[in-house]
Amino acid sequence: MDDVFLTTDEVLAYLHVNLRTVYRLIKAGQIPAVRVGRQWRFRKADIEQWLAARRTGPLAGVPAGSVVAAAVDESRGQAGSDADRRPRVLVVDDEVSIRDMLIKTLALAEYDVDAAADGRSAVAHLRSQTYDLLITDLKMPGMDGLALIHEARRLFPKLPVVIITAFSTEASAIESVNLGVSGYLTKPFRITKILSTAARILGD
């Protein structure tokens, strides 16, 4: 039916691409999408029509993922050199498993990722490199996440910050302190949540 709508997860599976790629194409006006609250919905007939229109010439009969890749290349060419610069993210967490998972997830989505195991190491990174996003745990030995956010705000007042927390009550406390955090990742979190949060904040 023409009125069948797909969720973002369903479109990812249908087109065989990652979330950041889809967000980039939505922003470039390449993929037809409808905003429903804070979520995107995709009319299946529109997606199929979009794929069919692009499967001409050299792209005839190629997989959907290749069609999307060609659209990404086209959008980069239209947007200029800034579109080719990959956003840089600093991940801070003393838990190795969480830190590694965030690094791998963001790197696969084509972000440049640096990581630190504690707040003091993170500050050293902030003083030597420019970042587009800081993702930090709250509970860390030594300099904790709150102290790190205060220092990050002092160095870069407009740097977007996402906090990692095991309890929603901690997130509420941070919000009440009015640190201006851009998002929360509540443990345990899904990979799609990580990518959607980063894409929303960075405008991908």
Round the CA-based radius of gyration of the chain to a whole number and report it. 19
pTM: 0.63
90-135 pLDDT, tens digit per residue, is 999 999 999 999 998 888 888 889 999 999 999 999 998 889 999 9
Cα four-point dihedral sign 144, 146, 151, 157: positive
Average per-residue pLDDT in the chain?
Answer: 80
Which residue is it, tokens 């977007």? 160
Fold classification of 5-82 (topology level) = Multidrug-efflux Transporter Regulator; Chain: A; Domain 2 (1.10.1660)
27-54 pLDDT, tens digit per residue, is 777 788 887 766 778 888 888 888 888 7
The CA distance from 9 to 21, in Å, is 13
Domain boundaries, the chain: 5-82, 86-202
Helix residue ranges per DSSP H, the chain: 8-15, 19-27, 44-54, 64-79, 96-108, 119-128, 145-155, 168-177, 191-202
67-89 pLDDT, tens digit per residue, is 676 776 666 555 444 445 688 99
Cα four-point dihedral sign 17, 21, 26, 30: negative
Residue 187's pLDDT is 83
What CATH number does the domain located at 86-202 have?
3.40.50.2300
